[in-house]
Amino acid sequence: MTTGLRPAWTDGSALLALLLAVVALFVPMTQAMIVEDIGTDYYDQILDARSVLETGRSDVPRPNLLFNRLLVLLAWPLNGDLATAALIVSVIAYGLTAVMLYAWLKPVWPWPQSPWAAWGSAALALSLIVVAPLFFLLGQSSDQALNGYLTFSLYHNPTTLLAKPLALAQFALAVRVLRPQAQKAAERMAMLLAALLVTALSMAAKFSFTVALLPALVLLALWRAWRRGSVDWGLLLACLATALPLLLAQYSVFAGSGDGSRATIDFLGYYRAIGEDLSLLPLKWLASLAFPVCMCLLLLRRAVWQDQSLLLSWLVFGVAWAQAVLLVEQGLRIEHGNFAWGALYAAFVLFALSLRRLLSMLRGRPSGAPLLLALYGLHILAGLDWFAFNLRG
């Protein structure tokens, strides 16, 4: 997957505008989330970070500790202002996500010489941060977004914000596993170190995407090897060797918490535990993924089978979805849905890859393109409604 940016003044201007838009949109949003009532995710993270500063330890077992420890780190130069630290970390995460999405979309813009290529890519990168499920198809509104839908624009959840740019970076490295390139020794070492660092940070932010990505990547790598395709086994092993020990360490944190939580197989157990209407779940999932699903149905051969990046994103989502519906954490944390988070990150990456593939095909004027663009526009409108709902509190 090409992710390089073409050096041109339009790139610089568009990127600056993109970052200014991120600040204008997500500083007020994050401030609104930080000042929410007691019990919100931001409140819990700030409270726990204060405990670490005062006592040297967390109040609760926290295997996904990256956001929390960044707050602790920033507390020193900010004189203990953890709310400002949370705002800074969150907005940086939004900015990194936007820039990485821009870097994915700009190289495949259908008319690269157009002066609007950079600006259009920036606008679509921003749209991918706010898109939401088509709630209205089921006669529901934004206040139902967290009930069974695959809503990945979770403004109230700081660990999710931090995990999304790392998920994009992990996926880009996964694509390199399937597309090996000749490298000098120094470049090779840098690539392996990047794999170690990104995988470790992603696991520290939230393990959910990694445990869906790696099984899917191994399956696709084995399939390519069987078809006599090339695979970067060294890069794949570097990712696995980093993720597996960290996953075991995180599991030991939960297992040693003493609350009786344990992972088990229970079909739709998590959704039953939160009181979800199981009969509506398939429709909610389709409403969540209307754009990528319709693209797969209309342009299956050209859009999926000819693009291994998009194929991998579908496999990752399949693994993540299977984990969400089959696995559950019995005990006090059953409603936390720790095995369901991966489907949200996978849906986010799937949206990005589907839009990227559609852009790359537009010059050929595929017959289903107008419908797909209109459908994506509906996801944007639903996302704006969801954004406004969260901003109002």
pLDDT value of position 1: 52
Residue 109 placed within a domain: yes
How many angstroms separate the CA atoms of 222 and 245, rounded? Answer: 22
Is the CB of residue 350 less than 8 Å from the CB of residue 313?
A: yes
**Mean per-residue pLDDT over the chain, rounded:** 88
298 in any annotated domain:
yes
Q: What is the pLDDT of residues 182-203, one digit of tens each?
A: 788 888 999 999 999 999 999 9
State the DSSP string of 73-94: HHHTTTTT-HHHHHHHHHHHHH
Give Cα 221 to chain centroid, integer Å.
Answer: 22
Domain with 50 in it? 9-392
Residue 79: Cβ within 10 Å count: 7
* Close Cβ partners of 47 (under 8 Å, ≥ 6 residues apart): 59
**Residue 244 belongs to some domain of the structure:** yes
Three-state DSSP class for 268? coil
Residue 65 belongs to some domain of the structure: yes
* Nearest of 38, 36, 45, 33 to residue 70 by alpha carbon: 45
In a domain, 1, yes or no: no
Q: For residues 116 and 135, is the Cβ–Cβ distance under 8 A?
A: no
How does pLDDT run across 54-69, given as a tens digit for each residue? Answer: 888 877 767 788 999 9
If one counts the domains in the chain, the total is 1
Residue 8 has pLDDT above 80, yes or no: no
% residues pLDDT > 70 (the chain): 91
pLDDT score recorded for residue 303: 61
**Is there a domain that residue 2 lies in?**
no
What CA–CA distance (Å, rounded) separates 384 from 319? 29
Q: What is the dihedral of CA 54, 56, 61, 62, to 10 degrees?
A: 90
Tell me whether residue 40 is in a domain: yes
Q: Decide if 329 contacts 338 (C-beta within 8 A).
A: yes
Q: Is residue 216 part of a domain?
A: yes
